[in-house]
Amino acid sequence: MNWKRSLIGAAIAIPVVTLLAYGLTQDPRELPNMMPGKPAPEFALPVMDAENDSIRLSDLRGEVVVLNFWASWCVACRSEHSILYDAAARYQPRGVRFYGVLYKDATGFARDWIARMGGQNYPNLLDPASHMAIDYAVSAVPETVIIGPDGKIAHKQMGVVTDSLMRVKLDSLLAVVDK
């Protein structure tokens, strides 16, 4: 009779413990990164400090595009600035298009921030109602989206990018373009 009881106990306990163990491996606060592999949502946004100039994603088809969502109030964006600056200096001559996207910020603060940081070597897009940010599932800044020449999102970095990440992702996408 004892083995029968043990068997029933195990049959109940094992699935419950397994379920709880699985639950402990999950972080309920961690946002899933759903965008890679999906077609990049279309946008047409004005360029900061360039009157009547706007950028439309559909005009960039066939090119590698880097979109960096940032704000002057974002502390982590400061440490990322030099990485993106260097990456833009290295990859823009090879055809990669870099754009900053101002997130929940005023242009005056953004201009001051850029001046304090020693400049920015790529244009910034204005998304005052955050429609583009929501389309790209941005939840906090900095976030960086890399779009491949096929128009699909190749990578979405939630948080600060690293120099090696930029090199690996952009080199692999440029290899496809060069083929």
Partner 1 sequence: MIGKLLLIASLLVPQASAPKTSPSDSLLEAQVREVGSKLRCPTCQGLSVAASPAALDMRNVIRTQLKAGKTPEEVEAYFVSKYGGWILLRPEARGFNLALYVLPGLMVLGGAVLVVVLARKWSRAGAGEVIDQ
Please, which residue, 1 or 175, has the CB nearer to partner 1? 1
CB of 23 vs partner 1, minimal distance in Å: 10
Residues making contact with partner 1 (CB under 8 A): 12, 16, 19, 29, 31-32, 34-35, 104, 129-131, 133-137, 139-140
CB of 12 vs partner 1, minimal distance in Å: 7
Please, which residue, 26 or 52, has the CB nearer to partner 1? 26
Q: For the chain, what is the total number of helices (H) and then of strands (E)?
A: 5, 7
CB of 43 vs partner 1, minimal distance in Å: 14
CB of 86 vs partner 1, minimal distance in Å: 30
The answer to whether 174 and 94 have CB atoms below 8 angstroms apart is yes
Please, which residue, 76 or 134, has the CB nearer to partner 1? 134
The answer to whether 159 and 142 have CB atoms below 8 angstroms apart is yes
CB of 92 vs partner 1, minimal distance in Å: 29
For the chain, give the longest Cα–Cα distance. 85
CA dihedral 76, 79, 84, 89 (to 10 degrees): 160
The answer to whether 56 and 44 have CB atoms below 8 angstroms apart is yes
The answer to whether 73 and 110 have CB atoms below 8 angstroms apart is no
Please, which residue, 116 or 152, has the CB nearer to partner 1? 152
Please, which residue, 75 or 129, has the CB nearer to partner 1? 129
Both tokens of 38, joined, read 């999906």
